[in-house]
Amino acid sequence: MFHDQRVIVVMPAYNAALTLEKTVREIPLDLVDEIVITDDASSDDTVAEAKRLGLRTLVHEQNRGYGGNQKTCYQEALRLGADVVVMLHPDYQYTPKLLPSMIGLLTDGPFDAVLGSRILGGSALAGGMPRYKYAANRFLTATQNILAGAKLSEYHTGYRAFSRRVLEALPLLENSDDFVFDNQMLAQILHRGFRIGEISCPAAYFAEASSINFSRSMKYGLGVLGVSVQLFAQRMGIAQFPIFDPNGRKLDPAPRT
């Protein structure tokens, strides 16, 4: 518990056996009530490692994709009674040492969601982000800010924290199961008028850290632009889309029976 708020860290995992323990060891357990890991049909020993570490472990028998994995993570966190949910990659690309600050901005600050930004502080390239990914990040973010009427430093970080009411309000089941899920979720948050805070976050790029190749990056970038255009059209009243429907399919917060 942190200030009477139940905090759960969720980890969408795929082939994270080599970095999982290092990540978990830096999570401040005095602030975090539970860690949930969802394995997306890994081909390594991620599940065995998670169980060895005593983590609540969910397993997808078939790969559901990065977005599908997050849906399972958030669903389980809500079922466990989370007030604050932090999504942390188990590949140690993002440092768990920022968890206290991110949690505090939700429990004590004015925000409904908090992002760990690799752009604030100018550490992205120093941390090893490929230059083509950095350039794409800056181009996409600038375009997204224009279309969304927002001023975020980046939309593409995988380090995120949310209040329970955000996860309950958004029609997350309308979103993709692929990597563009992240941007659909941010578009939904902006459309609903929830407040987003950002904190500078160093990120490390190394062999074991998860990443997508150039062709997948291109597909992701086009998907991001598509979501941004949808948000703009929705804001302007030009068209309506299921991901912004307040009555769209939401996660089920009911406890397991």
What residue ranges do the domains of the chain occupy?
7-244
* Predicted model pTM: 0.93
Cα–Cα distance for residue pair 159/141, rounded to 1 Å: 16
List, for residues 189-204, the tens digit of each pLDDT value.
999 999 999 999 987 7
Report the pLDDT averaged over residues 89-97: 94
pLDDT at 131: 86
What residue type is 194 in one-letter code? F
Q: Characterise 148 by phi-psi region: left (phi > 0), alpha (psi -120 to 50), beta (else).
A: alpha
181-192 and 214-236 helices cross at what angle (nearest 10)? 20
Can you tell me whether residue 230 is helix, strand or coil? helix
Q: CATH code for 7-244?
A: 3.90.550.10
From 79-83, 105-109, 207-211, the region with the lowest mean pLDDT = 207-211
- What is the per-residue pLDDT for 203? 77
Residue 3 has pLDDT above 80, yes or no: no
Interhelix angle 181-192/65-79, rounded to 10 degrees, is 50
- Helices 214-236/131-148 angle, 10° precision: 10
- The band of 126, judged by pLDDT with boundaries at 50, 70 and 90, is confident
Q: What is the mean pLDDT of residues 121-132?
A: 80
Helices (H), the chain: 20-25, 46-52, 65-79, 99-107, 131-148, 164-169, 181-192, 214-236
pLDDT of 24 > 80? The answer is yes
